[in-house]
Amino acid sequence: MPRGSPRGETADIGGRRLRLVRAGPAVTTAPLIVLEHGAFGCASDWAVVQERLAAKGLRSLAYDRAGLGYSDAGPAPRDGRAINDDLEALLSALGEIGPILLVGHSMGGLMVRLFALEREHALTGLVLVDAVTPDVFGLPGGGAAIRSFGRLLQVVSKGAKLGLMVPVAMVSGNPIGLTGPAGAEKRRIHGSAPHAHGAAAEVVQWPETSRMAGAIELPRDLPVAVVTAGPHRGRGPLKAIQEKPAKLSRAGFIEHVEASNHANLLGPRFADAIVRGVEHVLQAGSR
């Protein structure tokens, strides 16, 4: 695990512990907003978004998936179904039986989509933040790029065991633009060998997770907000598959944040777009 004291707390999910960070009011009738990070990510990624949600009086939870950040490793394979088993165990351990609103960034979009398809937990809706969808494998070179990313992370994992990621993390470990304790925490995690190993284990299972998440379409009555990074111009095929879940929903919302990129969309300049997506889903779910 990374050195340094993590923010938040840990919860036992049956002999293993997951790190989580809660924000917002302790008591509220609104759904709990659960934030699912992307590949090589962690709960720290959501620090700005959680701060903005709390300012709106909204309660949120971000967590490190098993083997990432400050969470204990989980059993193989680390596919979306295993990850969602852990999330359900975490919600149960915390006594969270009410409705949740799921927000997924990047590869986390596959996890929240699969959760919506397979789980019976009361669900208000989804917010997909520059998210991966199952259709990405249909893009020219999409599958090859993902498999290459998996191989790259395996190499990174080996290098991290030798401490090679520590100096890299000092330079490139915080592309979101986090500040204060969350920024320092993100850099520590980025340089951690167990974190790199856990991330590689997830990405190796990306094709299988994508297959499961793409088995059927999301229910049309489920509110879905899509927030993407960068302009639509020149990215038509990618934007089309990102927009698809919102366009198929009877309560869809789409916003392209032109000046942002995949990482800093979560940061101080652009996080309000994600909050707007959350607010849309909450309003649609209350009708």
Q: What is the CATH number of the domain that holds 94?
A: 3.40.50.1820
In a domain, 170, yes or no: no
CB 107 within 8 A of CB 39: yes
pLDDT value of residue 156: 54
pLDDT value of residue 148: 64
pLDDT value of residue 141: 60
| Cα dihedral 85, 94, 188, 273 in deg (nearest 10) | 80
pLDDT value of residue 29: 86
In a domain, 84, yes or no: yes
pLDDT digits (tens, 9 = 90+) for 22-61: 999 987 889 999 999 999 899 999 999 999 999 999 999 9
Secondary structure E strands in 4-57: 9-12, 17-23, 32-36
Would you call 285 helix, strand, or coil by DSSP?
Answer: helix
pLDDT value of residue 143: 61
Q: Which residues pair with 22 in a beta bridge?
A: 61
In a domain, 155, yes or no: no
In a domain, 161, yes or no: no
Q: Give the integer Cα–Cα distance in Å for 263 and 260.
A: 8
In a domain, 13, yes or no: yes
pLDDT value of residue 158: 54
Q: Give the integer Cα–Cα distance in Å for 243 and 259.
A: 18
In a domain, 60, yes or no: yes
**Domain membership of residue 73 as a residue range:** 9-23+30-138+205-285
In a domain, 188, yes or no: no
CB 35 within 8 A of CB 49: yes
Burial of residue 16 (CB within 10 Å: 0-12, 13-18, 19+) is middle
Domain total for the chain?
1
Q: Give the integer Cα–Cα distance in Å for 59 and 285.
A: 16
DSSP 62: E
Backbone torsions φ then ψ of 71, nearest 5 degrees: -90, 150
Low-confidence stretches of the chain (pLDDT < 70) are: 139-173
Burial 125-137 (b: 16+ CB within 10 A, else e): bbbbbbbbbbbbb
In a domain, 178, yes or no: no
pLDDT digits (tens, 9 = 90+) for 63-89: 999 999 999 999 999 999 999 999 999
pLDDT value of residue 163: 45
